[in-house]
Structure 1
Amino acid sequence: MDATRRLPRDIVDQVKAYADGTRTPAEPRNASTVVLLRDGASAGPGSLEVYLLRRHVDMAFAAGMCVFPGGGVDPRDFDHEVDWVGPTPAQWAGLLGADEALARALVCAAVRETFEESGVLFAGPTEDSVVADTTGPDWEEDRRRLEARELSFTDFLAQRGLRLRSDLLRPWGSWLTPVFEPRRFRAWFFVAELPAGQVTRDVSTESDEVTWLPVHEAITAVDAGDMLMLPPTYCTCLELYDATTPAEALASAERQDLVPVEPTAELDGDEAYLTIPDRLVALGEQVRTRMARAEP
């Protein structure tokens, strides 16, 4: 994937309309995305594995794209009674650059959406334990009810005597959907290791395929045109290239640039190009060069 890309012809008119004020940008919806990590089968840069879902081609947003688990913040994610351990909402507010109420909601949305879309749950009965198995039919029924908004996340945890483990998440960055998109999100990205004993399950109703892939394979597939990714997902894979274990990725999260990234569209006559920050363009060039040198 080129960091600066020519946009399809059918989008150019949209770009022009927003540029000249004919259209007004949609208000972005807050969202959380979680990059699930596990050790790869090999060692070295790019070996770390990430969990990806391919969205149905008829979805209104990011159709056919491979994404990490995540979604929009639900009003009930703001529930201040949710029981959790780890960094407090106030501490998360400082990390995420948000107010305390929104920070609490973003963390709840991150944990809830991960469970809804993969069956993985960052919660446990005590401050130093995590649920080891969420594959039974009773768990699936709760997951379905959460997804259908028949059950609030706070009630789900309370009924099972669980506490949200916010300490298992690390902030990774945030992205804002370009102004020319009719559906926009202000998405905060988190990284987290797959808890011991838990397994991902193909349960998301928004995807038609799920997979674990080494970071280098994901980058290669996108560059070859064999996989579709939006820039935030692709750039996150680039940023994870040097982390060879989940522990390394979690540690490197402290060094991440958390300044929000908003891709822009630049018009050039009857063409338009999507651009991202220079640092990410340079990172992509560096990683692709290193990957090419590593080939036998």
Structure 2
Amino acid sequence: MSESSPQTVPEVPIRRAASVLMLRENNGGFEVFIQHRVSTMDFAAGMVVYPGGRVDPKDSATAASGHLGETIISAHCKQWAGTAVWDEGEASAPQKAGEILAAALREVHEETGLSLEPGQLFPWANWVTPTGFPRRFDTYFFVAALAAGQEPAHQTTEAVRSHWAKPEELFAALERGELKMMRPTQRTLLDAMALGTIEQIASSRPVIKAVHPDPRDSHSSHPVRSTEISAPRS
């Protein structure tokens, strides 16, 4: 009787994605615009998330057009220094950074009806879905401080509702088991809360390193460990 060959786990492609923490002032603090994902989605089902989605081929054309602004893209490239934006070197980084920014702007418009200016979005974090998940994403998070009159709406079929929420109330509801948030959502929001104000958040300009989270912490707010962070690219 021959030995059975070990099962080969199919490799799941990692797709690039963008997600935006849209913020507005509220009684000395801030609120964040969130979506409650439909429970039947094949990724992040039933989770509280920010507007966003995958990088699309059309985003490549937007990035190559130059309409996003050379100065903005250059600044984003510096902040994405510890991510896959730089995997193919300095020459390719501006195009990749532009595609991610274009995807963020497009997804916000498609899901909320809001047209943000490229200069309103600032790189915030980069998380890569760990192995073992049926879908994997290399997700680039942005923060955006909304101006007076900029009001997002709920217009995506991927969520049952969208609304503004105070971060403290979200975490209280999470503690009570009334909602669910994946670790990247929790961590990016906690990091924003630690800075306190929208002005401090938007001006912080962190140099970002990719986080490859431990799947055992996928639904916790566990601080990012050094073993989960990619080494910075030279």
Q: Same fold (TM over 0.5)?
A: yes
The answer to whether the 8 A contact 1:25-1:180 is kept is no
Distance of aligned partners of 1:278 and 1:56 in 2 relative to their CA distance in 1, 3 Å threshold: closer
Distance 1:88 1:170 in 2: 9
Aligned equivalent of 1:32: 18
Q: Secondary structure at the match of 2:193?
A: coil
Q: How does 1:178-257 map to 2 (within 5 A)?
A: 178-252=130-204, 254=205, 256=206
- Partner amino acid for 1:258? I
Distance 2:57 2:197 in 1: 35
Distance of aligned partners of 1:64 and 1:209 in 2 relative to their CA distance in 1, 3 Å threshold: same
Deviation at 1:67, TM superposition (A): 0.2
Aligned equivalent of 2:112: 118
- Partner of residue 173 from structure 1, selected from 111, 114, 125: 125
1:101-131 C-alpha deviation (Å, 9 max, x unpaired): 2111000001111111112211xxxxxxxxx
Q: How does 1:1-296 map to 2 (within 5 A)?
A: 22-40=8-26, 42-43=27-28, 47-79=29-61, 80-85=64-69, 87-97=71-81, 98=85, 99-122=93-116, 165-252=117-204, 254=205, 256=206, 258-265=208-215, 273-274=216-217, 279-280=223-224
Deviation at 1:38, TM superposition (A): 0.3
Deviation at 1:197, TM superposition (A): 1.2
Distance of aligned partners of 1:103 and 1:240 in 2 relative to their CA distance in 1, 3 Å threshold: same
The answer to whether the 8 A contact 1:26-1:182 is kept is yes
How does the TM-score come out when normalised to structure 1? 0.65
Deviation at 1:200, TM superposition (A): 1.3
Distance of aligned partners of 1:244 and 1:206 in 2 relative to their CA distance in 1, 3 Å threshold: same
The answer to whether the 8 A contact 2:34-2:51 is kept is yes
Q: Which has the larger radius of gyration?
A: 1
Q: Secondary structure at the match of 1:59?
A: coil
Distance of aligned partners of 1:278 and 1:245 in 2 relative to their CA distance in 1, 3 Å threshold: closer
Distance 1:196 1:82 in 2: 27
Deviation at 1:167, TM superposition (A): 1.8
Identity of aligned residues (%): 31
Deviation at 1:62, TM superposition (A): 0.5
The answer to whether the 8 A contact 2:183-2:221 is kept is no
Q: Secondary structure at the match of 1:242?
A: helix
The answer to whether the 8 A contact 1:176-1:261 is kept is yes
The answer to whether the 8 A contact 1:215-1:240 is kept is no
Q: May I ask how many residue pairs the two structures share in their alignment? A: 207
Structure 2 unpaired stretches of 5+: 1-5, 86-92, 226-234
Which of structure 1's runs of 4+ aligned residues deviate more than 6 A?
Answer: 275-278
Q: Secondary structure at the match of 1:39?
A: strand
